[in-house]
Chains A and B, each alone.
Chain A
Amino acid sequence: MDTRKEKFPYGIPGHNLSEIEREIPIEEPPVWPINDKLKIIGKRVNRIDAVDKVTGKAKYTSDMKLPGMLYAKMLRSKVPHAAIKSIDISEAKSLAGVHAIYLIENTQKEGEEKNNGKFPMVKYVGQPLGGVAADSLEIAKDAISLIKVNYEEKPFVIDLEAAMEMDAPIVFDVPITRQADGGDVGEVHDGSKGQGNVRGPSTSSFFGGPRGDLEQGFNEADIIVEKTYRTQVQTHMPLETHGVVVDWRPDMMMVYASTQNTNAVRNEMASIFGLPKSKVRVVCDFMGGGFGAKHSAGSFGPMAANLSKKTGRPVWLMMDRQEEHIAEGNRPNSIQYLKIGAKKNGTLTAIQQRSHGTAGVGLGAGVGRIAQVLYPCPNFATEQYDVLTNAGPGAAWRAPGNVQGAFGLEQAIDEMAEKLNMDPLKYRDLIDKSEVRKIERQRGAKLFNWSRRQPAGSGKGLVKKGLGVGQSTWPRFVTLDSSVEVKIHNDGGVEIRSSVQDIGTGTKTILAQVVAEELGLQVNDITVNIGDTFFPVGPGSGGSVVTGSITPPTRNAAFEAKTALLKLVAKKWETDSSELFIENGQVGSKKDANLKMPFKEATKLMRTSQISKIASRSDDYGGFQQPWGLAYGDLGSVQFAEVSVNTDTGFVKVDKIVAAHSCGRPLNIGQLESQINGGVIQGISYALYENRIMDTGTGHMMNANVDQYKVPYSMEIPEIETLIVEEYSALSSTDAYGIGEPANIATAAAVANAVYNAIGVRLHEIPITPSSILKALNKVS
């Protein structure tokens, strides 16, 4: 590979910005300076689809209407654990307007007990059993209610701790491998080890396994914090539920999907139905939220395809809100035991972590890597157990595991600071080696006015104020299988194509920004056609990988297309293309100021009607930590919370959050702020409101709606100030990373630490509710 050397900006402006020399592939574009010197990158650029979204012009999957389209509804189990003796569809079949009924048959897959029956074993309320396609959704629903399922019910277990008991009903009596949909990035949980419903443990991550010697570490400690923290099950509740419209034509399967991974859905559907990838097309133009639960085709994808195949018509199959809550994913709960040792001077000597959590009938209920990597500590070990229960399977949920893990660790660190008689922020200065978080603490504390913080519980009056802080880290992942096509058309139009979808964070807009910056054009000169598997394969929207994976090849492809175009201009002007540039829509020459040509005119020089360049993600400059795409550095954040707690009613209000974040080179400040706001709001929601409530006697979720499953509305959302720290690492042609997950990790811990500071009693469990506050204050007899 031919390379050249370039000097890159390196470090944090206003702190330690310097230069670093990197060897880069010769075909890649020259170094971008820091954002101050760029025109479009790092600025507040309006979303290119903002008007379409707010005017309702944007068409989501659930809006799809195709000629002859049928509406489908899933048949779901009403009991938590059973064998199915029979299913009677006779009445449903004869209902006018019903076109097809498809029942899921027993394929005796791995993870199922010996079952000679025709149908799979039922393992949770809401498990899909079949589906109906009809002329209208109402008819499909009526048909479902006419289907009679004859169950042979079995004992079941819903509660995490009850499931851990030796005599608990067994959910699966065989090894299982089913991972939570999307899972924790890079983590595979082992469902073959363990006893009864308790599987695992998993003891390592891609950052390695245990370190040092725990016993020795605790022996060296002067102070020990030993606590158990608990988190609840949280369901995703995206505004747009899961679903697809499948049109299985003779020549091709067309899938319109509400998905954060068009490519994965394409591959899954092709594999399930034995079709070549080229015969399955998945399209997602607009996404109404996924938060991690929409990586796969689910059970609804194959169901809609089977019904489409049976009827020869397109089939619409979107989940309703109840189905969404009970069957389409959740963040597993956790019980985390943490033991931390430190010397009198604060130096950490040992961290021990043991967690149990349930992702229902799936695996993937760990608590992530936060305790492993946030603070360097020579002696560390974790054991993370999956507990199987008769509940809907978990799915990846915005920083899977790590949000739970941060809630535990960042409270334990606060407790340690208290025992050391140190300010929690100063204590983190002592034990945290991250340069970017140091700056975030400094700038954040100033913005938040941290110095006004009073000792815990010292406030007077009924309503007590409290301030708290929480930190997080998230790896810089890159999906190497990320490709994009940039086309310059001979009418002056520029087009970006990739299968990468815009989950709603503004991917379309940043791609347009990158190309506009490179081509010297404006953002609205660029057309972005993405979310379609007929285009080059892009990354899934998970792990906060999208920006870091797809913007470098996008810039590289634009650069290559520009180079090809400038060669044509150079030929006409009889000069060398290296002297030419494009600025403000004009091709110009560095040598001759009189040479000028509008971009549009330049495209008329093309011999073919377009210049098309496809680029794929190259390796990071300087390589990776792990060759599969784990980059150097991390995405650090520090969040500050201010709360008010009414000690008589237990009512908690978050008054203010300051969220300090880094994501390499920021691309669009407005969109970053939006994502951070979203992450913070979801974090507050996790800390105070959301909770899947299951009746352990019937196995049903009692609040599977938007009324009783509480999320924050306008009055629950505090003032949120974001603070974005630019950090240059010289790793790619854009040096940019995502923010989706980091924005959500530290909030609940910061809120819990603030609640402690307010009332002087620590709550080790979320959600924090009036009930739990009054109990903590010993006001409930």
Chain B
Amino acid sequence: MNKFSWYEATSIEDALQQVNKTVSEELYQSTNNAAVFKSGGIDVFDWVKEGLINPQKIINIRNIPGLDVISYDAKDGLRIGSNVTLAEMASNSDIKNHYLALHQAINHAATPQLRNMSTLGGNIAQRNRCWYFRSADHQCFRKSGDRCFARHSETGENENHAIIDNGSCVSLHASSISTALMAFNASVVIVNSKGEKKKVLMDDFFVSAGQDIAMETILQAKEIITEIVLPAPSKNTKSYYIKQVARESYDWSLGDVAVVIETSGDTCKSASIVLGAAAPVPYRSVQAQQAMEKKSINNTNAMAAAEAAMSVARPLSKNGYKVPLFKSIISEAILKIT
């Protein structure tokens, strides 16, 4: 592990002054002079330890004041500072009372130890968990290599990989919390070094592999996430989240789904349905949403929505099981909204 210097950022301006690269840029094309952000440190230090990035400087943004606040307002909704830990979110009663699916997603993320360390900003900006991408011995497209190892129909070990939008990259976005955030139409607030602030819908925050193979989000080097904001749910909005794993104590998602439905009696007025561990970025299933709109919430309609969601699935050689698995959890999550 190469030596690096440690910089303790005291303000957003200070941090943006120091930084010159995103971790993604370094992973794609490594330089000798990168200065990168570290918040909880969970993801960035993994890359450093694997020898896949060798930053010269680590800028600790974890202690920048003002980024660790959760606030809720019945009219404006929820604001979560980017340095808020997952553990803090898990114990927040506003999230539990008004954004149940998010609360459920947080409680199924990682382990209690990791939730104590991880920050929300880092969680949504982390890179995918494809074991080829994370292996120093496999130069894949995402690391400016010439192939996708996982996609290979004979040798690819792709049991855990994407079934939707799995073209040039078949990885899965690692943040299952993002599944729920996107379902609640959350936005990411980003500040750049000029002091400009923008608010980007989660749907537009993530970048597909086809758009840019080097990136998974729109974040640029001279930008920082300051908070994530969720609109206030209407009185008749209900939500549910399911993460299916092979191992309950701690496991990456085999498939997860967040359903947010505005109801009118037992009818679905509008639905927001997002799938995790289905595609390289959190995947909004427009097909499932449309299938549910103006329909009553019952078994037949929930199954039809799940079928619609999976109509776009194109499994790889070893992950065909994810299709029935998703059908099961999508319909189950919809039926929990009653």
Contact = CB atoms under 8 A, between A and B. Distances in A.
B226 to A, nearest CB: 30
Interface in A663-708: 688-689, 693-698, 700, 702-703, 708
Contacts of A696: 154-155
Contacts of B149: 695, 697-698
A687 to B, nearest CB: 12
Contacts of A85: none
Given A138-B1, A714-B249, A715-B249, A649 B152 contact: no
Contact of A697 (B155, B251, B325): B155
Given A649-B325, A770-B325, A775-B321, A697 B152 contact: yes
B47 interface: no
Nearest to A646: B328
B328 A648 contact: yes
A107 interface: no
A703 B129 CA distance: 11
Interface in B135-192: 135, 137-138, 149, 152, 154-157, 159
A698 B152 CA distance: 12
Given A698-B149, A708-B131, A774-B321, 10 more contacts: A142-B1, A648-B328, A650-B321, A653-B248, A700-B137, A712-B249, A715-B248, A769-B246, A779-B321, A781-B323
Interface in B244-279: 244-251, 254
Contacts of B245: 651
Interface string B86-112: 000000000000000000000000000
Contacts of A138: 1
Interface string B297-338: 000000000000000000000111101110111001000000
Contacts of B248: 653, 715-716
B249 A700 contact: no
Nearest to A778: B324
Nearest to A79: B137
B132 interface: yes
A771 interface: yes
B1 A774 contact: no
Interface in A728-781: 769-771, 774-775, 779-781
B246 A689 contact: yes
Interface of B: 1-2, 51, 131-132, 135, 137-138, 149, 152, 154-157, 159, 244-251, 254, 318-321, 323-325, 327-329, 332
A77 to B, nearest CB: 11
Of A700, A702, A714, chain B has the most CB atoms within 10 Å of the CB of A702
Contact of B135 (A648, A700, A771, A781): A700
Contact of A771 (B154, B159, B250): B159
Contacts of B135: 700, 702
Contacts of B321: 650, 770-771, 774-775, 779-780
Contacts of A781: 320, 323
Interface residues of A, number: 38
24 contacts: A138-B1, A145-B51, A646-B328, A648-B332, A651-B245, A689-B247, A693-B157, A695-B156, A696-B155, A697-B155, A697-B156, A698-B138, A702-B132, A710-B246, A712-B249, A713-B247, A713-B249, A713-B250, A770-B244, A771-B320, A774-B321, A774-B325, A779-B321, A780-B320
B156 to A, nearest CB: 8
A771 B318 contact: yes
Contacts of A715: 247-249
Contacts of A774: 321, 324-325
B328 A697 contact: no
A141 interface: yes
Given A145-B51, A696-B155, A703-B131, A780 B249 contact: no
Contact of A700 (B138, B156, B329): B138
A434 to B, nearest CB: 35
Contacts of A697: 149, 152, 154-156
A714 B135 CA distance: 28
A768 to B, nearest CB: 10
Contacts, number: 95
A145 B2 CA distance: 11
Contact of A651 (B2, B244, B318): B244
Contacts of A78: 137
Given A771-B318, A775-B321, A780-B323, A710 B328 contact: no
- Where chain B touches its partner, the secondary structure class is loop
A649 B131 contact: no
Contacts of B324: 648, 650, 774, 779-780
A693 B327 CA distance: 27
A780 B326 CA distance: 12
The 10 closest A-B pairs by CB, nearest first: A697-B155, A713-B249, A648-B328, A771-B321, A715-B249, A779-B324, A715-B248, A780-B320, A774-B321, A702-B131
Contacts of A714: 249
A715 B248 CA distance: 6
A716 B2 contact: no
Of A78, A695, A696, chain B has the most CB atoms within 10 Å of the CB of A695
Nearest to B251: A710
Contact of B247 (A694, A703, A716, A779): A716
A716 B245 CA distance: 12
A716 B251 CA distance: 11
B133 to A, nearest CB: 11
Contacts of B132: 695, 702
A46 B101 CA distance: 46
A694 B2 CA distance: 29
Of A141, A694, A770, A779, chain B has the most CB atoms within 10 Å of the CB of A770
B328 to A, nearest CB: 4
A710 B248 CA distance: 11
A777 B33 CA distance: 54
A771 B246 CA distance: 10
Contact of B328 (A649, A694, A771): A649
Contact of B254 (A141, A708, A713, A770): A770
A155 to B, nearest CB: 14
Contacts of A695: 132, 138, 149, 155-157
Contacts of A716: 247-249
Nearest to A685: B247
A475 B323 CA distance: 47
A76 to B, nearest CB: 11
Nearest to A777: B324
Contacts of B156: 695, 697
Contact of A141 (B1, B157, B319, B328): B1
A123 B2 CA distance: 30
A517 B264 CA distance: 76
A778 to B, nearest CB: 10
B87 to A, nearest CB: 18
Nearest to A781: B320
A770 B328 CA distance: 12
A689 B250 CA distance: 12
A702 B246 contact: no
A774 B149 CA distance: 25
A141 B1 CA distance: 7
A125 B149 CA distance: 17
Nearest to A697: B155
A698 B137 contact: yes
A589 B318 CA distance: 76
B157 A702 contact: yes
A649 B242 CA distance: 12
Interface in A98-147: 125, 138, 141-142, 145
Contacts of B319: 771
Nearest to B331: A648
Contacts of B157: 693-695, 702
A416 B203 CA distance: 56
A653 B246 CA distance: 9
Interface string A70-86: 00000000100000000
A125 B137 CA distance: 11
Contacts of A769: 159, 246
A769 B156 CA distance: 18
